């Protein structure tokens, strides 16, 4: 584990493998520490800049050696991109890019000077560097006999403590808590499905609740049947793994104040069921519990941050398998709220388990529901892999989530909910069917879920296209991204007393 600490040394006496400075693209003049060091080093940095060896482009990392009279082994100039496009997510990206590059040359200790602190403030700068570091140095190597590991043992923040060390330390702690929660979500989603069964997921959730001292209930198959959750039972029926209905409760303010509710889709493997998926990339469906992972990770962080809110997190967890007892197209199941659903396609299982989770949430009395789900392949057709889709029945709620996403660097775009789509999922034999045809697949999926929310303010995040990535880029690593953890934490802050 990489250590992160505040370092109060003087810049000229700083003993480190590398001191990192940030420069913007197309700046006429350096400021602050860069300007100061440029002068001391007889315009070395500015001449590299004017000769275009350094351009300041986002992600660019230039390593310079051998400065006389300077105890840092290397000076690292990190490109910050265009100043008009600068925000705290740029800092995360820069921090991750620099550390991965320096990790590639086996450095052990890296010191960051404040990046963009004039624009963001010193605390935001510190928090974002820490988040970029913890996210960027994430690896999932537990099944490698010879893990490559990470050479960087310590990341220091240099020149941050002159203001108020306690506040900087608090920013560092917050950044760590948040990024470690994202990494927890990534770990859960990267884990193969034979290791991350519904039972294992419920045990991990139990460990977290015990450690952070909040409440948890894990309902088993019998309880689920007794609740009348026919939709969840239907999905689970094709698997030998037993379903678990996981309910986590955190009270950070007066218990009488009705809690927020985050629900995460918890399909630990989605084979499609009898409507079997094609073989190609089916392995990625071990990550079909990414929504569940992200809301479990979010409540862990919210508890660690001691936010003054009340929150219930619900994860309906099951496999979707085509066993001999599996549900079949044409079957009719009855959800907890009495709604009859015709199973048109067993691969549209997410909306089924969410229907029961939302029905349950309504019975315990929650103020707002946000569900996070890898729901539809169609969301990728609509938005590509840069934005998650959001849908809802309450403008203020959807706007607040989109805004929260902007603050933390997670992009979310709203798609419509409209009664004109209702007919697409009307059934001949039951109240609804679980598919809505080819057109607007993400919208009909969302609206199906919305039918169970009724009058309660509800929003649905479709993270199917953004929950995993195919390449290492900035602070993301190939595999699970942990998307929505940061947005949900930020959103929760809106309800602090
Ligand atoms: N888990 C999938 C959605 C998905 C697809 C997630 C690709 C991540 C990457 C979901 O359960 C599913 O299979 N949805 C179907 C719905 C259809 C049958 C109405 C889909 O998108 O094809
Ligand atoms: Mn499916
Ligand atoms: Zn699925």
pLDDT at 1: 81
How many angstroms does the Cα of residue 135 sit away from the middle of ligand 1? 27
Decide if 156 contacts 5 (C-beta within 8 A): yes
Sheet containing strand 3-7, edge to edge, reads 3-7, 154-158, 109-112, 18-23, 74-79, 61-65
468 is catalytic: no
Phi, then psi, of 53 in degrees rounded to 5: -80, -25
Pocket of ligand 1 (CB under 6 A): 270, 288, 345, 347-350, 374-378, 435, 441, 464
pLDDT at 125: 97
CA-based max dimension of the chain: 82
DSSP β-ladder status, 244-251 and 215-219: antiparallel
Dihedral angle computed from the Cα positions of residues 266, 269, 271 and 275, in that order, rounded to the nearest 10 degrees: -20
CA distance 459 to 371: 6
Task: Name beta bridge partners: 312.
Answer: 249, 261
Decide if 288 contacts 374 (C-beta within 8 A): yes
Q: Which residue has the tokens 């709620």?
A: 397
pLDDT at 32: 86
Closest ligand, as measured to the CA of 343: 1
Q: Which residue's CA is minimally distant from atom 7 of ligand 1?
A: 377
In the chain the first and final C-alpha atoms are separated, in Å, by 35
Dihedral angle computed from the Cα positions of residues 209, 210, 216 and 220, in that order, rounded to the nearest 10 degrees: 110
pLDDT at 361: 98
Q: Which residue has the tokens 């609804």?
A: 432
Contacts of 62 (CB under 8 A, 6+ apart): 48, 53, 54, 76, 77, 78
pLDDT at 180: 98
92 is catalytic: no
Rg of the chain (C-alpha set):
24
SS3 56: coil
Closest ligand, as measured to the CA of 379: 1
How many angstroms does the Cα of residue 33 sit away from the middle of ligand 1? 50
CA distance 170 to 165: 8
Q: Which atom of ligand 1 is nearest to the CA of 350?
A: 11
Burial of 334 (0-12, 13-18, 19+ CB in 10 A): middle
The candidate with the shortest Cα–Cα distance to 460, out of 320, 296, 265, 319, is: 265
CA distance 234 to 333: 7
* Token duo for residue 335: 């959800």
Mean pLDDT by 10 residues, the chain (497 residues): 92 95 90 91 92 96 89 96 97 98 98 95 97 98 98 96 87 98 99 99 99 98 98 99 99 97 99 99 98 99 98 99 98 99 99 99 98 99 98 98 98 98 98 98 99 98 98 98 99 97
Report CA torsion sign: 105, 108, 109, 110: positive
Contacts of 347 (CB under 8 A, 6+ apart): 270, 272, 273, 275, 276, 277, 320
* Token duo for residue 232: 């969840």
Catalytic residue among 8, 44, 277, 411: 277
Query: How far lies 279's CA from each of 269, 272, 327, 477, in Å?
Result: 13, 11, 20, 24
Q: What angle do CA 297, 300, 303 make, to 5 degrees?
A: 150
How many angstroms does the Cα of residue 337 sit away from the middle of ligand 2? 22
pLDDT at 66: 77
pLDDT at 418: 98
Q: Which of the listed residues 238, 280, 284, 376 should we mutate to test ligand 1's pocket, taking the one with most ligand atoms within 8 A of CB?
A: 376
pLDDT at 118: 92
CA distance 475 to 435: 36
How many angstroms does the Cα of residue 69 sit away from the middle of ligand 3? 59
pLDDT at 409: 98
CA distance 343 to 346: 6
Burial of 314 (0-12, 13-18, 19+ CB in 10 A): buried
Neighbours of 473 (CB within 10 A): 14
CA distance 495 to 497: 6
Sheet containing strand 332-334, edge to edge, reads 332-334, 340-342, 432-433
pLDDT at 31: 85
Q: Ligand 3 being an ion, which residues bring their Cβ within 5 A of it?
A: 267, 270, 288, 350
CA distance 320 to 378: 19
How many angstroms does the Cα of residue 249 sit away from the middle of ligand 3? 25
Task: Name beta bridge partners: 336.
Answer: none
The candidate with the shortest Cα–Cα distance to 195, out of 142, 146, 155, is: 142
């Amino acid at each position: 584990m990489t250590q992160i600490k505040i370092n109060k040394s003087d810049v000229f006496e700083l003993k480190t493998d590398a001191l990192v400075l940030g420069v913007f693209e197309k700046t006429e003049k350096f400021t602050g520490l860069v300007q100061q060091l440029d002068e001391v080093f007889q315009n070395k940095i500015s001449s590299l800049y004017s000769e275009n060896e350094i351009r300041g482009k986002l992600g660019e990392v230039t390593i310079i050696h051998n400065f006389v009279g300077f105890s840092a082994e290397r000076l690292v100039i990190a490109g910050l991109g265009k100043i008009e496009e600068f925000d705290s997510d740029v800092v995360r990206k820069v921090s991750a890019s620099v550390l991965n590059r320096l990790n590639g040359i086996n450095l052990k200790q890296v010191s960051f000077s404040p990046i963009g602190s004039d624009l963001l403030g010193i605390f935001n700068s510190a928090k974002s560097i820490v988040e970029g570091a913890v996210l960027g140095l994430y690896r999932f190597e537990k099944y490698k006999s010879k893990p490559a590991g990470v050479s960087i043992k310590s990341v220091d923040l240099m020149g941050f403590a002159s203001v108020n060390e306690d506040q900087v330390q608090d920013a560092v702690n917050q950044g760590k808590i948040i990024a470690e929660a994202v990494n927890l979500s990534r770990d859960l989603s990267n884990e193969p499905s034979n290791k991350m069964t519904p039972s294992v997921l419920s045990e991990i959730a139990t460990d977290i609740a015990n450690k952070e001292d909040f409440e948890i209930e894990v309902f088993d198959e019998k309880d689920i049947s007794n609740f009348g959750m026919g939709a969840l039972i239907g999905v689970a029926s094709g698997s030998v793994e037993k379903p678990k209905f996981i309910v986590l409760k955190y009270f950070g303010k007066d218990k009488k104040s009705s809690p927020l509710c985050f629900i995460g889709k918890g399909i630990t493997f989605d084979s499609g069921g009898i409507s079997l998926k094609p073989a190609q990339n089916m392995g990625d469906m071990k990550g079909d519990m990414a929504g569940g992972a992200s809301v479990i990770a979010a409540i862990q962080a919210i508890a660690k941050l001691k936010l003054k809110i009340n929150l219930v997190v619900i994860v309906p967890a099951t496999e979707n398998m085509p066993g001999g007892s599996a549900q079949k197209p044409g079957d009719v199941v009855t959800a907890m709220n009495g709604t009859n659903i015709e199973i048109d396609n067993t691969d549209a299982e997410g909306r089924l388990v969410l229907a029961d989770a939302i029905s349950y949430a309504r019975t315990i009395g929650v103020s707002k529901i946000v569900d996070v789900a890898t729901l539809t392949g169609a969301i990728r057709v609509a938005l590509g892999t840069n934005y998650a889709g959001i849908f809802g029945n309450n403008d203020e709620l959807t706007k607040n989530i989109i805004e929260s996403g902007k603050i933390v660097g997670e992009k979310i775009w709203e798609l419509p909910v409209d009664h004109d789509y209702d007919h697409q999922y009307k059934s001949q034999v039951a109240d609804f069917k679980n598919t809505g045809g080819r057109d607007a697949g993400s919208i009909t999926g969302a609206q199906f879920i919305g039918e169970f929310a009724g009058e309660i303010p509800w929003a649905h995040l479709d993270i199917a296209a953004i929950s995993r990535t195919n390449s290492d880029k900035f602070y993301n690593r190939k595999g699970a991204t942990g998307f929505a953890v940061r947005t949900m934490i930020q959103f929760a802050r809106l309800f602090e007393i």
